[in-house]
Amino acid sequence: MVQKLYEKFGVTAWVVITALLLTYMTMSTVAADADAYNDSSMSAVFLVLLFVALAGAVCVRYIFSSRKDGSKLPPLVWVSVWSLPLLVTLVMLPWLLEGILVDRDVTAIGSIFLFGLIAYGTLLLGFLLVPFVLAPLELIARGVKGISKGDRKNGLSILGIGLYIAAVTAFSFIGGLAIETERFGPAAWPAIIFSLLGLPGAYEVESEVLLWVARLLAVLLISVPLSSQYLRFGVRKDSAKA
């Protein structure tokens, strides 16, 4: 049975099963006494959604790495990925029916439907973890591995790229927590720039500490490419003179 499951779904089946087990364990322990909307129950729900996002990211990374290597993917590999939110919702049914997600004014069907939509949205967000979280972590690991094996030049280059992508991710996340803007998307860019420069604008500071961290990261993200280009230009100029 295990072999047949692997042949049909591949590694994604085990990732999905792990996420379902973690969901059940979390809801059984953290939210055992939570039969209505409260901080404890919502913490458990957010943790479950985190499992969904991480599982989606791992599955997508496995699928694309298999394609890159030329490996043949199992026929139902995507089925297990897209069915994850539905399966998690089914595991959550006892707690959703008790009103753990919303208050008693919402029907049980509405609560189940709402969580299902949130779970699918979280899965899609989990796909974004691949380029912004998993990719830099892999690059950092490869860079450290290369340096440890004596390939210092390539190892440092890969490590630097990984750290830079990780800094971009950290800047986006920390900056989003540091301020709250009145607008969204491109319309919010002026407010974001004003907040980084300390100028008045259509934003509200949520955390001064996080805002200063975001400013430091912004300086780092701008200065590193500029200094790198300057050093390369200087090396080329010296080589041309020689």
Write out the two tokens for 28: 């059984």
Decide if 223 is inside a domain.
Answer: yes
- pLDDT higher for 136 or 33? 136
Q: What is the pLDDT at residue 34?
A: 47
Identify whether residues 171 and 93 lie together within a single domain: no
Which of 95-104, 165-174, 191-200 has the lowest average pLDDT?
95-104
As a whole number of angstroms, the distance between CA 90 and CA 83 comes to 11
Q: What is the pLDDT at residue 109?
A: 77
- Dump strand ranges (E) for 103-209: 179-181, 203-205
As a whole number of angstroms, the distance between CA 47 and CA 40 comes to 11
Decide if 143 is inside a domain.
Answer: no
Identify whether residues 106 and 194 lie together within a single domain: no
Identify whether residues 225 and 178 lie together within a single domain: yes
Decide if 32 is inside a domain.
Answer: yes
Contacts with 130 (C-beta within 8 Å, 6 or more apart), sequence order = 57, 60, 61, 64
> What percent of the chain shows pLDDT beyond 90?
11
Identify whether residues 118 and 6 lie together within a single domain: yes
As a whole number of angstroms, the distance between CA 74 and CA 5 comes to 10
> Please, what is the angle between helix 152-178 and helix 189-197, to 10°?
100
Identify whether residues 190 and 125 lie together within a single domain: no
Q: What is the pLDDT at residue 52?
A: 92
pLDDT at 15 over 60: yes
Identify whether residues 92 and 190 lie together within a single domain: no
Contacts with 116 (C-beta within 8 Å, 6 or more apart), sequence order = 85, 86, 89
> Can you tell me the mean pLDDT for 96-111?
70
Decide if 137 is inside a domain.
Answer: no
**Single pTM value for the model:** 0.65
> Can you tell me the mean pLDDT for 35-45?
65
Question: What's the pLDDT tens digit per position in 115-162?
Answer: 889 999 999 888 887 778 888 888 888 888 888 888 888 888 888 888
Half-sphere exposure of 89 (CA within 13 A, CB side): 21
Identify whether residues 227 and 124 lie together within a single domain: no
pLDDT at 38 over 80: no
Q: Domain tally for the chain?
A: 2
> What percent of the chain shows pLDDT beyond 70?
78
Identify whether residues 112 and 161 lie together within a single domain: no
Task: Tell me which of 129, 164, 190 is where a domain ends.
Answer: 129
Q: How confident is the model at residue 103 (pLDDT cuts 50, 70, 90)?
A: low
**3-state SS, residue 205:** strand
Identify whether residues 120 and 173 lie together within a single domain: no
> Can you tell me the mean pLDDT for 174-189?
77
Identify whether residues 199 and 125 lie together within a single domain: no
Decide if 111 is inside a domain.
Answer: yes
Q: Which domain holds residue 89?
A: 1-129
Identify whether residues 7 and 88 lie together within a single domain: yes
Longest pairwise C-alpha distance within the chain: 80
As a whole number of angstroms, the distance between CA 39 and CA 21 comes to 22
Decide if 109 is inside a domain.
Answer: yes
pLDDT at 213 over 60: yes
Decide if 103 is inside a domain.
Answer: yes
pLDDT at 179 over 90: no
As a whole number of angstroms, the distance between CA 5 and CA 10 comes to 7
Which of 29-33, 105-109, 199-203, 209-213 holds the top average pLDDT? 209-213
Decide if 124 is inside a domain.
Answer: yes
Identify whether residues 28 and 123 lie together within a single domain: yes
Q: What is the pLDDT at residue 87?
A: 93
Contact 56, 78 (CB under 8 A): no
Q: What is the mean pLDDT of the chain?
A: 79
